Each structure stands twice: as structure tokens, then as C-alpha cells.
A = this chain, B = another copy of it.
Amino acid sequence: MQVYEAPLRDMRFVIHELFGDDGFGNLPPHEEFTPDLIDAVIEEAAKLAQDVLLPINASGDLEGCVWENGVVRTPAGFKEAYAQFRDGGWCALASDPKWGGQGLPETVNKLVEEMISSANLSFGLYPGLTHGGTTALKAHASADLQERFLPKMVAGTWSGTMCLTEPHCGTDLGMLRTKAVPQPDGSYRITGNKIFISAGDHDLTENIIHLVLARLPDAPPGVRGISLFVVPKYLPKEDGSVGPSNGVSCTGIEHKMGLKASATCQMSFDDSTGWLVGEPNSGLAAMFTMMNTERVSVGVQGLGVATAAYQSAVAYAKDRIQGRALSGPKRPDLAADPIIVHPDVRRMLMTMRAYTEGCRMLSIWVARALDAERHSPDPEVRQRAEDMTALMTPVVKALLTDLGHETAQIGVQVYGGHGYIREHGMEQYARDARITMIYEGTNGVQALDLVGRKMPAHGGRYLRSFFHPVAAFIEQHKAVPGMEKMIEALEKAFGALQLSTATIAQKGLADPEEAGAASSDYLRLLGLVAMAYLFAKAAKVAGMKKMMGQDPDGFYAAKLVTVRFFYERILPQVAGLFQAIKAGKRSMMDLPEEAF
């Protein structure tokens, strides 16, 4: 059975205890968000996730969205849940107070996103896309457009989408064909077909505001000729109410592996009225403003599903009795021991646990940098935060979704045959999590972004925003009693990362294919080192608390076991990744195309 209780204790550990020393500070305008207030917000979010969203997760998967007569109907309960979500102010959580938002820090918002994703990934996409849309409008749209769309979108009365992909182009947006023809009144007529549009149509809001990439008649070819438009489903009237249809129609929805309660729409724009957002021909850059935040959010989605899978697997492993412990019966009162006694079952559970706790720390570290980047009064801090988020965005997106999916699959394995059937809901987690490795840029594209753009940028400055704190931490802690062995392992892994970086930088300069060939292994290596660094920080905090006798509920003792598991059982993967990176491109480029 799908069970989920928001991991508030671990979340509080990460936001309140782990990052005192990362230099990102306690940020304005967030000083008003005291620890108590933050705790109150995440406690409320936990209730919402557990009581409102979780109960319609499995049923939403089973029923799916239905497309009939050109409109999409969401599964039973989604409308009511969305109304409750909207009325509770959750749509506005992280939005600018200027437009009615609550202006919560990303650090808190990411925790809320994690909870929503744990409870109901499909549901989360509807408000999630809207939030992405408001981010783009806020950054690039004219004051007039902002006035027209932002208040309703922030309130959640209207929702948003991102219309990028067309049947022949997903990653390579340079090939897109949707057209925008200027009109005398300053608006544009948009015509074209888009696919894979999440929340493209549904019955949750009174209007849907599409952000559409299209080409102007005189646009240069390729990515330099793409502009961004805002195209509402219904044209808003002057008074803000919903007016006539705008030639936007949903021509079908995809039948997908999972995420079935989220409508993935084929959209047709037929002379639809739209307005330019930002400058002509710079639509891709505007869209990427939104994409980058979205990518961190997608990473958090992977983490969210993983957490739910972990908790459900633990519940089953404690309940399901099968066989006896290798060290002798643990529950002689029962016909067999619960399977959690078996080392290999614990290997699976501990892997899931280490992945989720590690991913949570990484996501919140990056979220803190996102907050600092936007709000720190210190330009140096802002710069360092910007460098760090630029570097880590592809890592968070790819690593957290890879590990999120892996965690969900391990969850299925813990359940055995019962994991493969619909009844317990475990296979839904695996199917739902799978998309996160693909959308908002496949994980291969993230890896290319990391080695091709982020690594060489500004002579390696982005990398330094990560390497420096790690190096400093190692230096400061290598002689701390009890931490020597862990720091030694961290130093070794960090050394492999530095050497890999040098190898790729050197080879890649002469031959970009060498960088491409190393990219995915390098992203994983960097991600593991980042998690190792964060686990070491966690061990320091936990070890101190435990030593001081401040561990009444055993939280810190448990944290130390998880850290040990990560260091002993997961971090060793670094050795293989390092060897693979050093091997270079030949074995993957030598085979002639026709020989495949």
C-alpha cells in the first residue's frame, strides 16, 4: 500500500541544522521567515500532501485523464483537491507578493514541492507548470502583460503551460515551425502544433495560459529565430473575466507509461492571438529562465517519488513475514520473521534511504543558493550563488531523477511479486518516476550542459563555487578525531573528480566528442562527491549532537548509520566511474553506424 508521512524531522535537520556555514546566510527578504514559521508551513504542507493529495494518487493513476470532444477531464477528486490547494494559498507560495504571492524562500518551496511529489506527482504538475509560467512572465513580459496574467495565475484561478516541443523537435528546438504573424494592434497570430504539453488542457481552472515558442516571419533559422509568446486558451476581457475562445485546442492526449493523471496534450494553435514576451528572437533565453528553475524542481520530483517508495517499502518489509533471520529467529511468536531482518532486504532499504537523504540535502543546498542569488545584499555572495546554481542545476535534475527512479524500482523489488501488481501501488512509483529522467531536457542533455557549458564557463569559475567549499571542508576536518576515515574517503573521491575534470577539460578542448563521451559518468561522479560532502557535513552535526547526549529519539544515531552506508556501499562507485571517464571516447565512437 502507498503510505507517506512527510519526513519533517529530516527536513528540519536539513534546513535548520546542516547549512549554518555555507555562506548563503539567512536571507532578506526572508528574515521574516523564522524557523518556527517555516516549520508551521511545512507542517501544513505535510497535512495537505498526506490528507488531500495522497488519497487520489493511486485512483488517479488507475482512472487517468480522459480526452473527449476536444477537452480533458482529470480523474475523480482532482478538481476538488485543486480547489482546496488553490484556496489554501499553495499556488502562491513562492510567488512575488507584488502579484499576490507569499514570497516564501525557494528553500521552503522545494520542501513543499518534495512533499507534493511524494503524495501525487501527477497532481503537482498542474500548479507546478503555472509557477514556471509566472516566473517567465515576471522576468520577461511587459508590465501590461504582467498585470493581465500574473494575478490570476499566482492565485491559481488560471493555470499555465510551456509549449516547446513539436513532433519533429524536442531537444533541438531550432527546428520548430510554429509561426507568429504580427498584427496591426501589436498582437500576433500563432499557428502550429505542439506535443507533450503537460497540463495543456484540463478542467481545474477557468483559463489556461500557454507560453509558446514560435517563429516570426522574418526570423533567422535555428535557435536564434525563436520568440516567446503568451497565448491564452480564452481571451481575457478587460474586466479580467474569461472571454471568447482563442483557437487553441487540445487534439489528443498521450497514453503514457505513468503520470497518467497528468494530461500530456497535443495542442493545436490556429490563428490564436498571442503577445510577445521579451524581445523578438530571444525566446529561447526567456524560456530557459523558466527551464532552469523547473529543472531543479524536476530533480525534486524524483526525490519526492523516491521518498514515498522508501516509506512504502519499509512498511512492507516490517509487515511481510517470510523466512527466518540468518542469525536465528527474531519473531518466534510468528510463523516467520518480517523480511526487514534479511541483510539483502536491508541493503535495498538502506540504499533507498541513503539516496533520498542525500538527494534531499543536495536539493536544499541548491535551493539556498537560489535564494541567495536572488536576495543576498552582498554581490559577491550573489555571484557565488549564481555560479553554484548554474553548475548544480543539471546535476540536481539528472542525479535526483536517476536515483529517484532507481529508488522506486528498488521499492518494487522489496515487494517482490506484490510490487509488480497494481494493488500495492509500488509499480506506479516506478512508472511515474521514469518520466522525470526525460522531461525538461533528458538526463543526457543535462550531462552535456554540465561538461559543455558549465564546466568551461568563465575559466572554470562555476566549478570553483563547488570545489572550494569541498576542499576547505576536507582541509578543516581531516584531523578531527573520528572523522579521519570518512574525510580520507571524501578526499580520494574528490581527487578522482578533480582528475576527471582535468582530463575532460584537456581532451574536450581538442575534441568536444571526448567531453560528450565522458559527460554522463562525470555528472554521476560529481553528484556522488557532492552527496559525500553533504553526508560528511551531516555526520559532523549528528556526531556532535550524539556526543553531547542530545539524541533522545535516535535521529542522529540513525543519520550516522546512513552516512556510513553511503560511504561504504555507494561512494565506491566513484572508482569505476573514474576509470570509465579516463578511457575516452574510442570504444563508443569507433563502431560504424551501419554496424549497430
Contact = CB atoms under 8 A, between A and B. Distances in A.
A564 B405 CA distance: 29
A581 to B, nearest CB: 10
Interface stretch (A165-173, A282-290, A359-367, A371-379): A165-173
A448 B344 contact: yes
Contact of A347 (B174, B427, B520): B520
A196 interface: yes
Interface string A335-346: 110101011111
Contacts of A343: 513, 516-517, 519, 585, 588-589
Given A170-B416, A413-B438, A430-B257, A587 B318 contact: no
A13 interface: no
Count this chain's copies in the assembly: 2
Nearest to A592: B554
A516 B595 CA distance: 42
Interface centre among A343, A519, A589 (most CB of B within 10 A): A343
Contacts of A77: none
Interface residue SS majority, chain A: helix
Nearest to A317: B596
Interface residues of A, number: 103
Contact of A256 (B422, B579, B591): B422
Contacts of A318: 593, 596
Contacts of A565: 587-588
Nearest to A566: B587
Contact of A327 (B349, B405, B513): B513
B257 A346 contact: no
A421 interface: yes
A174 B342 CA distance: 17
A573 interface: yes
Interface of A: 165, 168-172, 174-175, 196, 254-258, 264, 314, 317-318, 321-323, 325-327, 335-336, 338, 340, 342-350, 353, 405, 409, 412-413, 416-423, 427, 430-431, 434-435, 437-439, 442-444, 447-448, 511-513, 515-517, 519-520, 554, 557-558, 561-562, 564-565, 567-569, 572-580, 583-593, 595-596
Given A257-B421, A343-B513, A564-B587, 17 more contacts: A172-B322, A256-B421, A257-B412, A257-B420, A343-B517, A344-B444, A344-B448, A345-B444, A405-B409, A417-B438, A430-B434, A558-B591, A568-B579, A569-B580, A572-B578, A572-B583, A575-B576
